[in-house]
Each structure stands twice: as structure tokens, then as C-alpha cells.
Amino acid sequence: MNAPQDERLWHYLDGLLTPAEKAEVEREIQRSPELQQRLEAMRHVTHYLRAGKIEEPSRDFTATVMGNLHRKTASGGLSPRNGLLLLLGIVVAVLSISFLMGKGSYDSQTLVPLDQLNAPGQVMPDLPSFHVNAKWIISALMVVAMGLAFVVLDQTVLRPFFNKRLQHH
Amino acid sequence: MTEREEHDLISRVLSGDEHAYRGLVDHYKRYAFTIALKILDNRAEAEEAAQDAFIKAFQHLRSFQRQSRFSTWLYRIVFNTAISYQRKRKTVYHDIEKQILLHPQETGHELEREDKQRFVNQAIHQLNDADRMAVQLYYLQEFSLEEVAGMMQQPINTIKVRIHRARQRLAQELMHVLKQEALTL
């Protein structure tokens, strides 16, 4: 399909052309069987889209809404499946790190020698060097991960479960 | 319902008269349900999503800025609620009929008007979600380009592109069918 020509045909169907442009498009359509076929397809699409009707909900729609005005609505959080996958990922990560910590993988201290930074041609201020204990950082990250795991567990498993039970009673 | 009547109802609801909300629900439920249905393509889910949207709108009515129309604000909530329902579907299933576009040479029958209608209906489900929603909302009598953009929270130019692309794609599909039909004559 020819994009600029098609755009003019859409505008023709939408009634957006000036009388002069409209007359010109109509002349072109008369001359070209291919354009006629294209216009027929476009006209049918427009007709179909315009024919979309406004649907009627069930009779007790309003009553259901009015009876639940103070109900807690579903939040836009994770789906149960994605929530469980995320939870599983966090648990696996925490267990792996715990295993590595138990093996002593993070026991060493790393020296960060900021005082030995050497940038040619630049005057550097005196910076201290210090030791970083990887174990502390990993421990802090694990606490954050476990906190996140509890939030995910609450949002995707516990709350939906208890809300369902409340609705059934 | 005039804008003034609508604002009166909102004021009554905000001052504690919950029953006044019934008027707003009754007035907008058909459009709200239709929007949800266009997105979810399932009546039961669409009804639940539209009801949820009305409940959310009631609970957040104080945050409604009266500079815009209530309908635009409400439909945006309906749109977002339906989208979140769509994301939460446990299993994504597609009706096999919607996946396969039956072309005339495969059916062996000449395409009549109803067949074309059904074909476009199938083709529209092959569009990407955002394009499909933009074009369907735009052609739902009441909505202007600005309203569709407001509902979908996207710039007007993006919506224009989506609508153009969607109907162009539908026309291309239909052209293909018409050509096949001409060859079989």
C-alpha cells in the first residue's frame, strides 16, 4: 500500500478533505481500479469499527457497586504467579549467599586505596584509604532481601488468601 | 446529564450522601463496561473490572479535580483497572479461532458481507493491544482523540499513529482477502 495516498483516502473517508481535494481524490478513484478496491477495503473497516455497539452490563451492576463501595479493591500489584516466582528468586538468592558466607567466601577485607589514586596533570586532594568488609555489606543486603521477601509473600499469597476467605464468609 | 447535575451529584456524595453515587453509576455504567469489555474480551471479567473501577472512583472521589470531565477521569480508572485485570490473568489463552485468519481459498466460499465482518473481527484481534484499544475506543461514538489520549495516558500524536497503523493494517488484511476473492471468481 502507498502510505501517503492511503492517508488521503482515510482523510477522504473521515470527511477531512477540502471540496477541491475531495474532487481530486474522487477523480483519481474513478481512474484507478486498484484505488477503488483499496477504498472498498478501507470503507468496510471504517464501517465495522463504527458499528461497535455500546454493551449493556448485567441488571444488578449498580446494586453490586453500591453494595461494595467500602470494599477494598484489588491492587495493581504482582500476579500470584509472578509474585511466587519473585519470592522463589529471593529465597534462592538468600540461601546461596548464606551458603557462601558459611564457607567463608566473604571473610576477607578489601582495602580501598583512595590515597593512591593517580590522575596525571590533576591536583588530587589527600584522600584516606580504608578497609571494606564484604561480609557486612552482604549481610545488610540479605536483611533487605528478606524484608522484600516478606512484603512479596504478604502481597501475593497471604492477603489474597485471607481476602478470599473473608469474602466467602 | 449536564455537567452541573454531575457536579451536584459529586458534591452530595462528598458531603456524605452515598446514595447519590447511584446516579453516576447508572449514567456511566454502559460505557465503563464497554471499555472494559474491549480490553478484556470477556463479559464476566469486564463486569468485575468495571465495578471495581466504580468502587475505586468512589473511594478516590476527593482527588477528582473538577477542571476535567468526570467521565474522562472515570474512564481512565476503568482503563487502568481493566489493564491490570488483563495482566493478572493466570493463564493467557487465545481462542484458536482468533489466531487463524481463515482466507477465502481455505473456506472455499465466496466472502459475503457477514464473512467480511467476521474477518475484520478476527483481524482486529491480531493487532497489538495498544493499537487495538486506541482504534476501538476512538470509534466508540462518544470519544474524541483527546479523550482516548487522556484515557490511555499517551500523547495525542501517539494515539493518532496507533489509530492510523491499526486501520491501515486491517485494510491491508481485507485487501488481501478481496484479491483472493477476485482470483477465485
| Same-domain status, A141 and A91 | yes
The reply to whether A92 and A163 lie within a common domain is yes
Residue B122, C-beta contacts closer than 8 angstroms, at least 6 positions apart: B97, B98, B101, B102
CB of A159 within 8 Å of a chain B CB? The answer is: no
Chain A contact probe: residue of B39, B54, B121 with most A CBs at under 10 A: B54
The range of the structural domain enclosing residue A164 comes to 80-168
Q: How many other C-beta atoms lie within 10 A of the C-beta of residue B133?
A: 23
Given this model, what pLDDT does residue A61 score? 94
B109-112: list long-range contacts, CB under 8 Å, 24+ apart. B110/B181, B110/B184, B110/B185, B111/B177, B111/B178, B111/B181
Say whether pLDDT at B43 is over 70: yes
For chain A, the domain total comes to 2
Is ipTM over 0.90?
A: no
CATH number of B3-88: 1.10.1740.10
* Residue B6 grid cell: 454531575
Residues A107, A159, single domain; the answer is yes
Do A109 and A31 have their domain in common?
Answer: no
Establish, for the pair of chains A and B, how many residue pairs have beta carbons separated by less than 8 Å: 113
Question: Does the beta carbon of A63 lie under 8 angstroms from any beta carbon of chain B?
Answer: no
CATH number of B97-184: 1.10.10.10
Q: Is residue A45 part of a domain?
A: yes
The domain ranges of chain B are 3-88, 97-184
| Mean per-residue pLDDT pooled into runs of 10, chain A (169 residues) | 77 88 92 88 86 88 92 64 81 84 73 66 66 78 86 78 64
Note whether A144 and A104 are same-domain residues: yes
B100-156 residue pLDDT tens: 444 444 444 455 666 777 777 788 888 888 898 899 888 886 688 888 898 888 999
Q: Is residue A74 one of the residues assigned to a domain?
A: no
d(CA B63, CA B59): 9
Query: Identity (one letter) of the amino acid at A85?
Result: L
Q: Is the pLDDT of residue B34 over 80?
A: yes
Same domain, A92 and A142: yes
